[in-house]
Every structure is written in C-alpha cells, then in structure tokens.
C-alpha cells in the first residue's frame, strides 16, 4: 500500500473502506466540549454498540413479565441462551461450535482449564510462559504450580527476548521447547502479548509442544477479534479469552473457553464440575452422579450470567456479519497507516516496539516513549485522545478496524506530533 501523509488521503481511504458504516453503530465517548474522542483503547475495553442496550432490556423485560418461567419460555429462553453465542464465537476463533463455550470470566476459565490440562508429575512438572505475561496469567500459573505442591522457582520457565531485544523470536521459543520439552507439562502463553503487541506463532508452538509431549494452551485476551485464529486446525489443547476488549461485550463481560474436540470424551481428564456441565437431558433430574456434556460445555459450572451474555449479542452479531477476514484486511491497512505516519515524525523521543511484520501483530502498536514520565500520555488525553499507558514507558495505541477510521489515525498522529 502506498500511503500518503495528508488528510485528503485519509478521507479517501475512509471513503473506500467497506466497513465505514460500522462506526455509526457504536457510541463514542465525548470530550468536555462535546466532541467525539479519538478512542484507541479497544484493546482494554471496546466501545458500546448502540444496540447492546436493547438486548439487555429484552432480558429485563422477560424477567419482569415471566420471572422464573423465562428460563424455559419466551423467544429466547435463558437455559439454552449461551448456545446462541457459540456459533459466531467459534467462527471468530476458528473452532467447531462444540469446542467453544461462553462462561465465567477470563482468569476463572484459565484456572478451570489448568485444573484439567496442567497435570504435573515428577519429571514433567513445568509450565512454560512468556516473561512479562499479563500479571493475572502469571499469578494464575504460579498459584497452580504451588497448588500442586511444586515450587515456582524450579517449575516456571519464562521465555525472554535476547539481550538488547524486546520481542521473542519464534526460533528461540521453538528451540526452548525442543530442549526442555520433556520436563514441560504445560505451555501456556498469550496469543498476542498485551504489552508489545506481538502475535506468537501459535501453530508452530503447538506443534513443537506436542512433539515433545507437552499440553499447549493460549490466553487469547488480546488476540480474539483481532488476529486470525485457527484453534481447531492448529490442534491447540485449550484456550481462554475475555470479550470486553476487542469484542465489545461491556465491562466485566462474559469470557470464552475452547477445548479441542479430541478431549471432549476423555474420561481420564479431571475437572471441577458443576451442574451446568452435566448432561442436559438429565440435568433437572438432580441425580448425584455427574455426567459431563461431551463438548466444551461440559466444563461449565453454573447457570449462565444471562445479562452478560445478552450484552455481548450486539457486537457478536456485527463480527459475524463483517467476518474476521475483512476486519483483518482493514486492520492491516489502518495500523499500517498509523505506523507510516508515526515514521514521518522526526523525533528520537519515540519508537514502535511492536513487530513491523503485519503477520506478527494485531491492530495495536506499542509506542515506547524514551525517557518518559507519562506526561505525553496526559497531554494526549487533554486533547481528547484515549489510549492507554503501561509502565514503565509504553503507550498502547489500538485503532480497531470495527469502529476506527483513517481520519482518526491521521488526526491522532498530528496531535501526537504536536505534543512531542
Ligand atoms: C485483560 C487480560 C486479563 C484480564 O483477566 P480478567 O480475568 O478478565 O480480569 C487476563 N489476561 C490477559 C492476557 C489479559 O489481556
């Protein structure tokens, strides 16, 4: 793509954008003067689709008029409500419908998956993760290691970039697995690192892990709805994600889990069980013997949080309508444009640490502010730009293909230049 550093070019790109109509379907925060903010924070909390409220209201109405009968009656009864989310969700992560379930929140799902898939034994007890993974993931894996009576120091292997580098090289990840794989029980990494914006080669990591007898799972919090995913074909054992970031389900939204179908009927896998994971036909017979549903749904514990499921419907339908392929196509152009424009700023104060190879990133660019004290971030905020800051020195800028425009990217960089 040949980009140009002018507003006319940005407007022309918006004109040609097949997804330009989506922006109008989201509610955008305003500045104190009443102007639209430039919202580049979909990596943290996606915007509210204007139709999200009516999905939630339908549940409130059914609750009002039907009360307990809402579980089985009405247009969309609550007992099977979560099943309505699985088809579209599975297309976003590249899975079969039966491999995906919406339940709980992300860290809870990560723990539930590790109950099943982290089975340390003497000699094969380690977890491999990227160093500086999202804190919740670090706490989760460390506490699992301790829970099983192993010590964290010896059993947590962390992948670190080479000295002087910021990103992990795929060859180094694969080599580590090749060398130490025999002692690794579980490889559990982010699919897309929240800090650097780097997408890891999940296919190759899964293959390498399996060839050494390791179980392989991914936290897709930043990858889902952002990067191409093909969980089924890659053969990933399990994955978990939240939906309030790129998938716009709202604060504290319902989370997702993927369990590869080859594990669905395995009676030897332990799990924490609850009545919502029990065989649907006989759930209400209240039998004392647990019979798991032979799909990812078998990992559910509780009846679903219907209001959270409802607030996800609007965005999920938009993703399904647009499709990940066209989102990804726009995303590469949009983020490519951001990268191009930042490159035109003559300054030594900032550098992009996210990979420049589009295949190794999603929509986010992480911009390191050299010698920074967060003042740049505040200055941008003053001008109506919402990004986010990650200590010690990075501003994460995420133009999402669903609701951001080339014009916003252009205006953002003009303001950034000014603030510098
Ligand atoms: C956002 C995020 C979380 C947040 O976890 P919650 O359980 O939803 O609070 C965890 N891990 C990663 C990698 C994230 O990006």
Q: Which atom of ligand 1 lies at the shortest distance from residue 108's CA? A: 7
Q: Is the CB of 136 under 6 A from ligand 1?
A: yes
Q: pLDDT of 47-60, one tens digit each? A: 999 999 999 999 99
Tell me 227's DSSP state.
S
> What is the predicted pLDDT for the residue at 420?
87
Angle at alpha carbon of residue 331, lines to 93 and 202, rounded to 5°: 40
Which runs of E-coded beta strand occur in 225-274? 238-241, 256-259
**Sites in the chain below the pLDDT cut of 50:** none
> What is the predicted pLDDT for the residue at 104?
98
| Residue 308 CB neighbours (<10 A) | 24
CATH 3.40.640.10 at 57-320, yes or no: yes
* Whether the Cβ atoms of residue 271 and residue 299 lie closer than 8 Å to each other: yes
Residues in contact with 283: Cβ distance below 8 Å, sequence separation at least 6, in sequence order: 275, 276
Q: Is 72 helix (H, G, I), strand (E, B) or coil?
A: coil
What residue's CA is closest to ligand 1, atom 1? 221
In the chain, CATH 3.90.1150.10 covers 7-49+323-419
Name which of 31, 76, 85, 28 is nearest 315 in CA terms.
Answer: 85
Best probe residue, ligand 1, of 107, 114, 131, 239 (max atoms within 8 Å of C-beta): 107
The CA distance from 274 to 129, in Å, is: 29
Name which of 270, 267, 220 is nearest 245 in CA terms.
Answer: 220
What residue's CA is closest to ligand 1, atom 13? 134
Q: Can you say how many angstroms the Cα of residue 273 is from the centroid of all Cα atoms in its chain?
A: 25
Stretch (H or E) spanning 185:
strand 184-190
> What is the predicted pLDDT for the residue at 372?
77
> What is the predicted pLDDT for the residue at 102?
98
> What is the predicted pLDDT for the residue at 282?
86
In the chain, CATH 3.40.640.10 covers 57-320
Give the sign of the dihedral formed by CA 229, CA 233, CA 236, CA 238: positive
Q: Is the CB of 396 under 6 A from ligand 1?
A: no
> What is the predicted pLDDT for the residue at 125?
98
**Could you tell me which CATH number the domain at 7-49+323-419 has?**
3.90.1150.10
Name which of 51, 93, 71 is nearest 314 in CA terms.
Answer: 51
Stretch (H or E) spanning 327:
helix 324-343
What residue's CA is closest to ligand 1, atom 8? 106
What residue's CA is closest to ligand 1, atom 15? 221
> What is the predicted pLDDT for the residue at 240?
98
> What is the predicted pLDDT for the residue at 64?
97
């Amino acid at each position: 793509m040949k980009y140009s550093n002018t507003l006319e070019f940005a407007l022309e790109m918006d004109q040609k954008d097949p997804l330009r109509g989506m922006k109008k379907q989201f509610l955008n925060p305003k500045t104190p003067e009443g102007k639209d903010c430039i919202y580049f924070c979909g990596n943290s909390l996606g915007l509210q689709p204007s139709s999200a409220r009516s999905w939630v209201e339908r549940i409130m109405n059914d609750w009002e008029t039907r009360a307990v009968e809402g579980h089985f009656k009405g247009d969309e009864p609550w007992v099977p409500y979560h099943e309505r989310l699985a088809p579209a969700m599975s297309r976003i992560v590249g899975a079969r419908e039966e491999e995906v379930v919406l339940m709980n929140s992300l860290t809870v799902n990560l723990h539930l998956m590790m109950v099943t898939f982290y089975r340390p034994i003497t000699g094969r007890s380690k977890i491999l993760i990227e160093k500086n993974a999202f804190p919740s993931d670090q706490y989760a894996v460390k506490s699992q290691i301790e829970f099983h009576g192993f010590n964290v120091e010896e059993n947590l292997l962390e992948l670190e970039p080479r000295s002087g580098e910021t990103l992990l090289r795929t060859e180094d990840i694969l080599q580590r697995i090749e060398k130490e794989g025999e002692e690794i029980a579980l490889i559990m990494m982010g699919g897309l690192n929240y800090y650097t914006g780097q997408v890891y080669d999940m296919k190759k990591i899964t293959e390498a892990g399996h060839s050494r007898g390791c179980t392989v799972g991914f936290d897709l919090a930043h990858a889902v709805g952002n990067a191409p995913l093909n969980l089924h074909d890659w053969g990933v054992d399990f994955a978990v994600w939240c939906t309030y970031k790129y998938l716009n389900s709202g604060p504290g939204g319902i989370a997702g889990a993927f369990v590869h179908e080859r594990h669905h009927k395995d009676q030897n896998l332990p799990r924490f069980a609850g009545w919502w994971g029990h065989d649907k036909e006989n759930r209400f017979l209240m039998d004392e013997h647990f019979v798991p549903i032979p799909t990812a749904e078998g990992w559910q514990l509780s009846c679903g949080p219907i209001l959270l499921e409802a607030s996800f419907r609007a965005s999920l339908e938009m993703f399904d309508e647009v499709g990940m392929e066209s989102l990804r196509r726009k995303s590469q152009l949009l983020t490519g444009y951001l990268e191009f424009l930042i490159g035109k700023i003559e300054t030594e104060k900032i550098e992009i640490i996210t990979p420049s190879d589009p295949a190794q990133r999603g929509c986010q660019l992480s911009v390191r502010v050299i010698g920074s004290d967060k003042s740049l971030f505040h200055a941008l905020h003053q001008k109506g730009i919402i990004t986010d800051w990650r200590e010690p020195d990075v501003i994460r800028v995420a133009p999402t293909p669903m609701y951001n425009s080339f014009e916003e990217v252009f205006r953002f960089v003009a303001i950034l230049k000014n603030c510098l």
